[in-house]
Amino acid sequence: MQSSLTPFRVAVIGGGPAGLMAAQTLAQGGAQVDLYDAMASVGRKFLLAGRSGMNITHAEPYVDFVTRYGNSSGALRPMLDAFGPQAVRDFVHGLGLETFVGTSGRVFPTDMKAAPLLRAWVHAVRECGVQFHMRHRWLGWQDGALRFSVPDGGEVVARPDAVILALGGGSWARLGSDGSWMPVLAGRGVDLSPLAPSNCGFDVAWSEHFSSRHAGEPLMTVAVIARDANGQEMRKQGQFVVTQGGVEGSLIYALSAALRDQIAAEGSTTIWLDLLPDLSAERVADEVARPRGARSMASHLQSRLGIKGVKAGLLRECLSKEQFSDEAQLARAIKRLPVRLVRARPIDEVISTAGGVRWDALQGTMLKAAPGVFVAGEMIDWEAPTGGYLLTACFASGIAAARDALAWRTAA
């Protein structure tokens, strides 16, 4: 066992939420911590995520919260039990910021901004004694030492007692999480799953006529019917946006894992849109069939059902002339309009990624193939929808990795 008088030196590589939480927890546990990041400042993706409102966690009942991680719920549960949604709010309050619960159950700082939270947090981490090393890009190991490239074109090495890797997934490479660690860990014999897009949009083969008129338009009240991993239909209501080449937005992101996997297995997949989710199929059929006199069908749909703009455009895009002219087929399509998705958007532009270090490659959060090396955050093979779930698990896994490292030192 190491002497308690010997400083326990830990390198944390990655300055996102998981890395910052790991560094702070280690320092509070008495470790000597050096935090390395390839960027000029920490938390770049954190700041981007908060640009439209810093969603830190979710206030739904905890029994429901933990199910949002799908197949990884069991592996993440101990981490979330130790640092869950209420702990996230308490942590933010401890930094001097208040929080509130939005109408959707999402939790935000009162001012909705990420920058004040990050500034207060980085100050607290520095106050713990953590040393920051910016513009240090990790290159891997050489003779047991960590190698980093630095801005002058040279390299530096470090020989800590333990390492926590918190390098993120593969999305938004310009902000630091580029997945370049995958071949490094593969070279050490770590079992990895390929990185895949998560919380992503999808490409659709829209016609030029449709995309030129409706790209960027939101579908504010709509339901999507899709198949889950078992082939059973699932239905979610919300909103999304038609893009130049496809669809994106919160409703699509919520279904993206299943849709991505179906495309990988089958080459494409189909979703069905309920353009009027608040009306029954019978009501829609009755309104479509009402006498319309000299009015066009488009005018009739707008008058009787409020269908116009992008919703009207979708009907024209996805139905043949004959189908659009047939009242029964048109009514059915308003409630169940098929849209074929051909591919997920590229990893670099999606919100998060699935894949990475497999759970069975870990003992706790330590790599079985590299004792003394721990991983946290999106590097591990889990995924979750937007709504504060991603950030909460990053916090929780950073703390778990730090505690595992401190326990490993004690047992060494």
pLDDT at 49: 84
Query: What average pLDDT does range 359-369 have in this prediction?
Result: 98
Over 90: is that where the pLDDT of 2 sits? no
- pLDDT tens-place string over residues 99-121: 999 999 999 999 999 999 999 99
pLDDT at 92: 97
Over 50: is that where the pLDDT of 149 sits? yes
pLDDT at 1: 43
pLDDT at 228: 87
Query: What average pLDDT does range 154-182 have in this prediction?
Result: 94
- pLDDT tens-place string over residues 187-233: 999 999 999 999 999 999 999 999 999 999 999 999 999 998 888 99
Report residue 15 CA to chain centroid gap.
Answer: 17
Q: Please give the CATH number for the structural domain made up of 9-196+350-411.
A: 3.50.50.60
Q: At what angle do helices 73-82 and 389-411 cross, to 10 degrees?
A: 80
212 φψ region: left (φ > 0), alpha (ψ -120 to 50), beta (else): alpha
Provide the pLDDT confidence category of residue 172 given band limits of 50, 70 and 90. Answer: confident
Interior CA angle at 393 toward 249 and 53, to 5°? Answer: 45
Provide the pLDDT confidence category of residue 53 given band limits of 50, 70 and 90. Answer: confident
pLDDT at 52: 76
Over 60: is that where the pLDDT of 3 sits? no
Closest CA to 251 of 282, 272, 230, 279: 272
Provide the pLDDT confidence category of residue 5 given band limits of 50, 70 and 90. Answer: low
Provide the pLDDT confidence category of residue 4 given band limits of 50, 70 and 90. Answer: low
Please tell me whether residue 230 adopts helix, strand or coil conformation: coil
Extract the tokens encoding 102. 């939005």
**What are the structural domain ranges in the chain?**
9-196+350-411, 202-344
